[in-house]
Structure formats: C-alpha cells, structure tokens
Structure 1
C-alpha cells in the first residue's frame, strides 16, 4: 500500500490579546481600599475610643494595632508615635468645635456666631464633644507635649479661622472690631471656657435647652459690644 506523502497540518496557536504594560502593573498586588488620609482618620477615631477607655498613658501602639486590625507596619507608616495620633484626633474634631469656613453672611451676627459655635447640636453630638474636652483637660496636665499639640492643631487654627471671619464682617461694615485676633480669642474663651468649666464640674449640662440658653446669652453679651452704633 503506497504511503501518503501529504504533510501534517501545523496547529496554529490562537493569538493572545496584547495587554498594555501599565494595565498589568495596575492589577499587581492587593487593590487599595482607601487613601492614606482616610485610613489615618479611621485609625485616629478608633485610637480616640481607646484613649477614652484606658487613658492616653495606658494605651500602647500595640493596643491600637489590635483595635484597628492593621499591621504594625501600616500604623508606623502613618503615625510615628502616639502624640501624632493625638494630633490627628484634634484635627478630626476641630470641625465639631467651630463650623468654619462657612457662609453665614445672610444671618444676623449673633445667629451666625451661634451657628459657627454649633450651640444647637443634639445631645449625642454634644456628649461626644464633651467627652473629648474632658479627655483633653485631663491628659494635657500630665503631658506637656499634648498641650502644645492642642494649641498648634486645635486652638490656633480655630482662632485664626474665626479671626478671618470677623475681619470679613468688619470689611462689610457688619461689626466694629479693631483687633479681630483679640476678639476671636475673647469669644472662644467665653464659649469654650464655659463648656470646659461645665465639663469638669458635672457630667453634663442639666438639659439641652439650658445649655443653648446660656451659650446664646454669652454670644448676645459679646455681640452687643461689637455691633455698630
């Protein structure tokens, strides 16, 4: 029987679609779920709860790693020590103390200041604000470095923001305020001094209505001295 002389057919491999090099790089490794800024904010909030429970001194970086369910490498990449975490807590809570920046130009000055100082927040928000104030008052007495952070990350930026707002009202002719920095400091001492005293002497104000009445009176007495005659 004669042998076939036909050559066997070659199998042609299907061509694989080309994948851009940058696409390959994008898919390597675990996808990032949140930005460093957001992760740092979440860590600070959980660390804050730990500080409230155990105190600043008794809370360790290991405690924070365990509570946040992160690696030590992640924590130390975002914060080198507990003091930095404390500073991030102050940053996060600055807006709970002063609602600035904001547009309050259509409101009377006393109402604008009431909105800026958030005096009509609900009881839950007020309890959170008071808890932070109580914690800070206790801890800064023992740790001078925390007192410095409280000023540079909390008090100073807040006072500067309020002074800028007062200067704008002065420029619009809505108030008479020769020194906006002094006025901002005096107003913050008036409002937050009252809150701080209350936070040290009692667990909470007698009632939300009483708290609002008192703080509105503080603002009213202040504004009577800066309104144009």
Structure 2
C-alpha cells in the first residue's frame, strides 16, 4: 500500500469513527425514530454526502453503532484471557461483575430503553440489536461455557442455552431496577455481592465441582 493510500485509509477510518460517535450521541438522546441523518451529520461535523458515503441509511448506521458498542464495551469487559487462572466460581463471579457494570452504564441503559420502546414500530431494530449486540455477547459467553466444559467443571449439552441463562441472571436485581429508574444500590459492594450470588447459582445449576477447576 502506498503512503497516499495509507493516509487515505487512516482518514477514512477516522471519519467513520467521527460519524459513529456522533450517531451514538444522537440516537441515545433522541431515540431511533427521533434521530435524523441531518442531526447526525451535524453532530458528527460531516456533510450529509460524507455520511451517506459511509452508511446508506439510518438503519445501517444504527446497526453499526450497536456493533461498535458491542466491540468496544462489551467484548473487552467479558474477555476471558485474564480470568482463566482461577476457579470456575471465581471466574463467573468476575465475569458477572464486569457484565453488570457494563449494563449499568448510561449508554447501554438508554439503548435498551430505545429498543424496547421502538421495536414494535421498527421491528428491524430488535433484529439488529440481537445480531450485533446480544448475539455477539451470547457467542462470547458460549465460548466461556465451552471452556469450562472442556475442563470438566461444567456439564451441559446446550452451552448456548446455559450462556443465555447466565446473561439473564446478570440482569436481575440491579440492572432491571436501574432500567426502570427504580431506587437501587449500585455501589461496588452491592455489585460484587450480586455477582457472587449469580456465579454460585449458575455453577450450582450446571454442576461445577468447587475448587476442582483451578488452572492445571
């Protein structure tokens, strides 16, 4: 690749990043229906022509925002690379804590409300969220389950379903209350307490043998 093309590629990536940041802000503030491509172009400080050069329509842009949030926030939070040197219960406790903290952030909270409120009018939104958000997270969680199955710590013939159950558990008590703006204690101590309970419940269901799954 020539130097000119490298610079062009860097410029294109930077412009895309600029657009995604602007779009995220507008979507979270105005919802999907209330957001317009003109608003997004203005917030991203690009022309509408540039915006449409990168994304053909609002739906495509929304999907890209969901995918970006999943890659930049959820994926790093549930990366297992630095958690494999501990017991199964400890690993899932740390994983639950990280996942809960991400779900409690303002962005994911607002995004959830957007999907729930506007999915009946825009069915494709739910599908987009499922594929680029929930689906990607579910895939990573499933890999976690399979890792511990291979180590003999968890027993299940349906790791995808087990991963869905774990993700559902992580949304109890704190996350659901916060989504509905109900009074709830989301201090570090409470998050850690709930995460620990979730891990013990999950590995209890799937037969984790305590302390037998430390690194070998």
TM-score using structure 2 length: 0.78
Q: For residues 155 and 185 of structure 2, what CA distance do their matches in structure 1 show?
A: 35
Q: Which residue of 2 aligns with 1:3?
A: none
Work out whether residues 40 and 78 of structure 1, in 8 Å CA contact, stay in contact via their aligned partners in 2: yes
Q: Which residue of 1 aligns with 2:200?
A: 220
Q: For residues 30 and 118 of structure 2, what CA distance do their matches in structure 1 show?
A: 12
Work out whether residues 19 and 46 of structure 2, in 8 Å CA contact, stay in contact via their aligned partners in 1: no
Q: Which residue of 2 aligns with 1:102?
A: 80
The size of the alignment, in residue pairs, is: 202
Q: Which has the higher contact order (CA 8 A, sep 6+)?
A: 2
Compare CA radii of gyration and give the structure with the larger one.
Answer: 1
What are the Cα deviations for residues 118-168 of structure 1, in whole angstroms up to 9, with x where unaligned?
A: 157499x73343233333333334321100101111112211221122112
Shift of 1:38: 4.5
Residue 181 of structure 1 aligns to a residue whose secondary structure is helix
Shift of 1:81: 1.1
Gaps of 5+ in 2: 211-216
Alignment of 1:80-119 (within 5 A): 80-95=56-71, 96-98=73-75, 99-103=77-81, 104-117=83-96, 118-119=98-99
Q: For residues 91 and 119 of structure 1, what CA distance do their matches in structure 2 show?
A: 17
C-alpha change, 1:211 and 1:100, in structure 2 (3 Å) is closer
Shift of 1:40: 2.4
Which residue, 152, 177, 183 being the options, matches 2:156? 177
C-alpha change, 1:167 and 1:214, in structure 2 (3 Å) is same
Alignment of 1:87-166 (within 5 A): 87-95=63-71, 96-98=73-75, 99-103=77-81, 104-117=83-96, 118-119=98-99, 121=101, 126-166=105-145
C-alpha change, 1:213 and 1:128, in structure 2 (3 Å) is farther
C-alpha change, 1:122 and 1:223, in structure 2 (3 Å) is same
Q: For residues 166 and 132 of structure 2, what CA distance do their matches in structure 1 show?
A: 19
C-alpha change, 1:147 and 1:212, in structure 2 (3 Å) is same
Work out whether residues 50 and 64 of structure 1, in 8 Å CA contact, stay in contact via their aligned partners in 2: yes
Residue 158 of structure 1 aligns to a residue whose secondary structure is helix
Q: For residues 205 and 156 of structure 1, what CA distance do their matches in structure 2 show?
A: 28
Residue 84 of structure 1 aligns to a residue whose secondary structure is helix
TM-score using structure 1 length: 0.74
Q: Which moved more, 1:61-70 or 1:108-117?
A: 108-117
Which residue, 8, 12, 17 being the options, matches 1:41? 17
